[in-house]
């Protein structure tokens, strides 16, 4: 490296790659978290989904998703995207990225692992009853079409971006989309055998390993720092340090919110609720961590964590949504709240950084309701798109190859039925824990 | 970035943030290690403590600890600290940090995760019998007061620093303090039900998962590289590479020391001892890794690992200290040895780096006993402070809200008693393993 | 940092250290993967080997291996290596490294953790029957002699390098060598009790934890990014980003290859095969990731993953090689394929970077068969060396201190026999799962 510009590019690129590795590691976190929430008999299946969902989503994003999301567009979708299949375009081709000083490969690496998370969110909500092959096909649509299109609207500088909707690192683009795809899937799929009694009261079907849930939660938290600090498309000392603090704060306050919430509603400090609450806190600050103050990040996280407890219990009890890991609440509700919170807490005195387009000041910070309304429009557009298209894909899959394993396979466990193997040969299982 | 100074600041900041993430990841390591050392029936409780202790310690450190530790002071304590509550001061306010070229937020991020480890040390030693809420309250005092005050004396450039006491990355400030707080807690709390027979011979109460202990040990080792290489407050190629080698060497030799020690004393290569030995090696070189040669780091680690075996067995057999994970030996004894070793092995031919204040040469490196005496003074001051104040806090908690669960709860397990849940629904447990 | 050169050195060094930490973390991955493939009763033993193998290999590499590998040489071996014991030489002494701009300590740190992986490969193949002490002694020879000598031929700029053989990050130097040492060990050792019936048909002896296998696989994948991106000996934005993509692609396609292969041969999507396939994909692209196009990396990985399934099944069924974790197939066969693939896919239009010596264009990219023949020569030399020397060391160990535990110890499990402890006190085991 021989001059300031080269070194600057090198540092920005190294940063993006390292943050990308942290995001990549989130796959491990999701695998541990979601498997821990499954019963013993479905553990191999859950792990298999988490491994292969990344395979499929990376390939789909490489094939077409990236071009759809970032190439020249009419605002709604990359119109000449098919020229960019398999990353064949040069940086100029991807019009919303061409101003960046880092290599296209590095941008693609980060965006690829970033895209991978949206698909992973779905696997947890559909745990313990979904056909392996159908899930893989849905994943392909998710990463080739569903995620990139609404992603294009914002990160690809499409119509929502032009309107002024902001979403720094994806509360809306990634988490709300993942949550809505999961919700659509659960609605088409229906609850697990044994989840509801004849009088429609729910049973708790316990996950098989709290240590795996905790390990997964911690790894996700670690990865989330990369998820957010990499969305700068470069390195800014002031901004990245601020994001690190806000990320941590919202996770902690989300966990505390859920701790208090579970103590209040369930009369016990429920660790799985705490982990979900902290994840919801991390989800919620994803949209706004670059734009809000540190105290605001605390508050955003706390509300998210509290909401999660209420949402998990309500979805189960009043809406008959059987989401074994709480993904719809954590990512869907947490994502919507976070996208909205940006319109409330966005502050003018943030740190300026060239690669970040800032929103207007939020309702609580002297900006009036304008940004909040913009965020509402953005949420509406993204929720409608991702829910309806996901619903259609799940419906088509249901009426063609089928999306659900047989009732016998579900009772026996998907590990034996779909994979012909057990997760823990050598241990004596006590069977399902349903209370 | 447009000039050398900006890029230099950026690289230093990126380094600190990445090292901070590694330290953050140590929470995962502690959670796995300490839960692995617990019995099945206390696993959720141990995990819950490891998750929430980080919540509380970060909030306490943000609230007041950071200001106490780093703001302008009379040598003993930050006198106008209350002006710096909630990180409200600018960098000038934190007088011992104002010369640094990286943003205050980045410094705080690293110091915050760093502070979090001190509190975590305590949780393991008090495992399997402590009330959840009392532990959280102690944690608050630990991170708001106990750790920051003695931290101020050294890292905050208080009276010990002025005397010449050195502690590069916290053998004394973090590990000895954590170990003493743990010791005080165990002394006030007493041993677990079933630990000692009527003739006061101890029983071994086996932890439930050696894989979790090993996973935790490895993650802690990884995190420790960040723990030490981040204490440079910037990036120095020579110094950071040297620290990486010394860290690794002391861990390895600590593990080997414990391997040989356990083969000698217990007639078997005991993996849990090996893991504790390697952690003790990492603890011991924490004070001096920037000041000693690579062969010295090997020796410091080896002594630490050997000491750990002796300390764990002695505390259990002769002092009736029931420390389920060996935290007092690893962090307390290892920390004291490491703080002392600095006075023995500190070398003049070390790598100079502007942000590091070097000690005098140690006893074995031609400097006479001066630095050794200084280290003794430092150890004495920190041990007395942290033990006494911790003892007082534990005593007050004992006589107010109580610190120990009921005997029934302890026998049934804290998971059911305190959290109403099991760690492994779906597996058949054989109950406690006491031999 | 005050000028371009200093900052450039700093960034290069920071990069190498961080990549080195990722490689270090691979120890955790190997420990989880290999233990997961073991039965409950051998878990502590497997974990102990993974921990201590790193101790021994680091010490052996520090003692002599590094000097053998990198010091001035006659092409075959570092002739005055004994002057460089314990890293006592300065950078000039290590002639193949002296042109680098980063500190010797940083180079050593990376090479040390890099060397550690070669020894770890062996432990899995010899699982569940090897004497602990004999394995440690073999490890010493591996890291002090076997790995450094053939490493010297290529990375140390010995005779293979001079001929034109290339191996960017060690498909040949690390993985083939590890695989051959494992093969020699298994041939000398023989299969586990109960692996083969009287008619020589094999039984499947199931590993005890698919979650640990998956966790290990993910951590290895993460570490592999560092394994490859650190072999640049510095940071190049274009090259490192390209390597990141190729690494990820070959892993994914390896996993998919094994998924399809296992579905075809075993009639089920076998997750342990998928994990091994993805690791084989990562192994295979290790030699060439800096020299091939992204689509080529996909293809190399896919072939590796498919080969792995065939190799694992063939070695077990037709060659009576009992390799509990599939290490010989993943690292040995995957490594040989990867070394060969470089001669097929190496492309002229790669990214130039000063610290990398590029091969000629491969057979499929207009370069004719020259590079392919060179790679064949390299493979032949390294396979012969590593297999024969390993075979001799294993034979000597067998006829002196013995390499295998007693049949009783093997049936009872090595945890009790060699370590006097159990991995999971508190759980009821159902004993071996042999089908």
The pair of three-digit structure tokens given for residue C310, joined into one six-digit string: 């065939």
Mean pLDDT of B268-287: 96
Best probe of the A interface among C218, C267, C295, by most A CBs < 10 A, is C218
pLDDT of residue A80: 66
Chain A nearest C-alpha distance from C429 (Å): 4
Using the Cα atoms of residue B132, residue B133, residue B136 and residue B142 in order, give the sign of their dihedral.
negative
pLDDT of residue A212: 98
Which residues from A are below 8 Å from B87, CB to CB? 294
Given a cut of 80, whether residue B349 has pLDDT beyond it is: no
pLDDT in tens, C107-153: 999 999 999 998 899 999 999 999 999 999 999 999 999 999 999 99
- Residues near C431 by beta carbon (within 8 Å), at least 6 away in sequence: A426
Facing A55 at nearest CB: one of C208, C242, C255: C255
- Count of all residues that appear for chain A in the document: 435
pLDDT in tens, B108-133: 999 999 999 988 999 999 999 999 99
Which residues from C are below 8 Å from B431, CB to CB? 426
Residue C48 and residue B269: Cβ atoms within 8 Å? yes
pLDDT class of B79 with cuts at 50, 70, 90:
low
| Chain B adjacent subunits, 3+ CB pairs under 8 A | A, C
pLDDT class of B87 with cuts at 50, 70, 90:
confident
The pair of three-digit structure tokens given for residue B15, joined into one six-digit string: 């380094």
pLDDT class of B80 with cuts at 50, 70, 90:
low
Which residues from B are below 8 Å from A237, CB to CB? 9-10, 13-14, 102-103, 106
Asked if residue A269 lies in contact with residue B48, where contact means CB atoms within 8 angstroms, the answer is: yes
Q: How far is CA A88 from CA A64, A83, C316, in A?
A: 10, 7, 42
pLDDT in tens, A186-240: 999 999 999 999 999 999 999 999 999 999 999 999 999 999 999 999 999 999 9
Task: Enumerate residue ranges in chain A where pLDDT < 70.
Answer: 73-75, 78-82, 348-350
Asked if residue C140 lies in contact with residue C297, where contact means CB atoms within 8 angstroms, the answer is: no
Nearest chain A residue to C210 by CA distance is: A423
Chain A nearest C-alpha distance from C222 (Å): 7
Average pLDDT value for chain C:
94
- Residues near A168 by beta carbon (within 8 Å), at least 6 away in sequence: A228, A231, A286, A287, A288, A289, A290, A291, A342, A356
Cα C9 from Cα B408, distance rounded (Å): 62
Query: Which structural domains are found in chain B, ordered by start?
Result: 2-434 (1.10.3430.10)
pLDDT of residue C96: 85
pLDDT in tens, C148-184: 999 999 999 999 999 999 999 999 999 999 999 999 9
Asked if residue C228 lies in contact with residue C289, where contact means CB atoms within 8 angstroms, the answer is: yes
Chains A and C: how many Cβ contacts under 8 Å? 167
Cα C279 from Cα C20, distance rounded (Å): 19
Cα A403 from Cα A415, distance rounded (Å): 16
pLDDT in tens, C12-46: 999 999 999 999 999 999 999 999 999 999 999 99
Which residues from C are below 8 Å from B294, CB to CB? 87
pLDDT of residue C80: 66
Compute chain B's Rg from CA coordinates: 21
Q: How far is CA B252 from CA B279, B292, B355, C89, C395, in A?
A: 9, 16, 28, 22, 29
pLDDT of residue C220: 98
- Residues near A140 by beta carbon (within 8 Å), at least 6 away in sequence: A56, A57, A59, A60
Facing C21 at nearest CB: one of B225, B252, B431: B225
The closest of C174, C175, C153 to C164, measured between CA atoms, is C153
The closest of A226, A292, A215, A216 to A253, measured between CA atoms, is A292
Cα B104 from Cα B87, distance rounded (Å): 9
Chain A nearest C-alpha distance from C269 (Å): 6
Nearest chain A residue to B57 by CA distance is: A252
pLDDT of residue C14: 98
pLDDT of residue C89: 75
pLDDT in tens, C257-291: 999 999 999 998 999 999 999 999 999 999 999 99
Best probe of the B interface among A8, A235, A244, by most B CBs < 10 A, is A244
Facing A106 at nearest CB: one of C18, C237, C270: C237
Between A82-86, B294-298, B404-408, the lowest mean confidence (pLDDT) is in A82-86
| Chain A adjacent subunits, 3+ CB pairs under 8 A | B, C
pLDDT of residue A349: 67
Facing B426 at nearest CB: one of A8, A39, A248: A39
Given a cut of 70, whether residue B78 has pLDDT beyond it is: no
Which residues from C are below 8 Å from A54, CB to CB? 252
Mean pLDDT of C184-203: 95
Nearest chain A residue to B49 by CA distance is: A271
Cα B24 from Cα B29, distance rounded (Å): 10
Chain C nearest C-alpha distance from B217 (Å): 9
Which residues from A are below 8 Å from B21, CB to CB? 22, 222, 225, 244
- C-alpha A4 chain-centroid distance: 37
Facing B244 at nearest CB: one of C7, C55, C109: C109
Residue B426 and residue A255: Cβ atoms within 8 Å? no
pLDDT of residue C2: 82
């Amino acid at each position: 490296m021989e001059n300031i510009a080269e070194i600057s590019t090198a540092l920005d690129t190294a940063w993006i790659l390292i943050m990308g590795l942290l995001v990549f590691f989130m796959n491990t976190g999701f695998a541990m978290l979601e498997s821990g929430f499954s019963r013993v008999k479905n553990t191999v299946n859950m792990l298999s989904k988490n491994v292969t969902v990344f395979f499929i989503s990376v390939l789909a994003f490489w094939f077409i998703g990236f071009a759809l999301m970032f190439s020249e567009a009419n605002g709604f979708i990359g119109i000449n995207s098919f020229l960019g299949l398999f990353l064949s375009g040069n940086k100029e081709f991807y019009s919303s990225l061409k101003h960046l000083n880092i290599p296209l490969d590095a941008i693609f690496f980060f965006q690829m692992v970033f895209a991978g998370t949206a698909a992973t969110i779905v696997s947890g909500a559909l745990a313990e009853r979904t056909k392996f092959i159908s899930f893989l096909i849905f994943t392909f649509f998710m990463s080739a079409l569903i995620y990139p299109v609404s992603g294009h609207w914002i990160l690809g500088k499409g119509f929502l971006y032009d309107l002024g909707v902001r979403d720094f690192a994806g509360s809306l683009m990634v988490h709300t989309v993942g949550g809505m795809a999961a919700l659509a899937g659960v609605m088409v799929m229906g609850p697990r055998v044994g989840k509801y009694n004849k009088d429609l009261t729910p049973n708790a079907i316990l996950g098989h390993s709290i240590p795996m849930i905790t390990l997964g939660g911690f790894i996700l938290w670690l990865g989330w720092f990369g998820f957010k600090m990499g969305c700068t498309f470069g390195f800014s000392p002031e901004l990245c340090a601020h994001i690190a603090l806000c990320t941590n704060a919202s996770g902690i306050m989300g966990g505390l919110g859920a701790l208090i919430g579970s103590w209040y509603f369930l009369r016990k400090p429920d660790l799985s609720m705490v982990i979900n609450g902290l994840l919801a806190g991390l989800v919620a600050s994803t949209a706004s961590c670059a734009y809000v103050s540190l105290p605001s990040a605390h508050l955003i996280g706390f509300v998210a964590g509290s909401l999660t407890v209420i949402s998990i219990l309500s979805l189960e009890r009043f809406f008959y949504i059987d989401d074994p890991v709480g993904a719809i609440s954590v990512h869907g509700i947490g994502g919507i709240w976070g996208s909205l919170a940006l319109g409330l807490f966005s502050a003018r005195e943030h740190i300026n950084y060239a690669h970040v387009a800032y929103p207007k000041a939020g309702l609580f910070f002297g900006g009036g309701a304008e940004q909040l309304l913009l965020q509402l429009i953005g949420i509406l557009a993204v929720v409608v798109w991702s829910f309806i298209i996901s619903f259609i894909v799940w419906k088509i899959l249901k009426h063609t190859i089928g999306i659900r394993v047989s009732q016998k396979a579900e009772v026996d466990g998907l590990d034996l039925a779909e994979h012909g193997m057990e997760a823990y040969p050598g241990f004596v299982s006590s069977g399902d824990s349903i209370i």
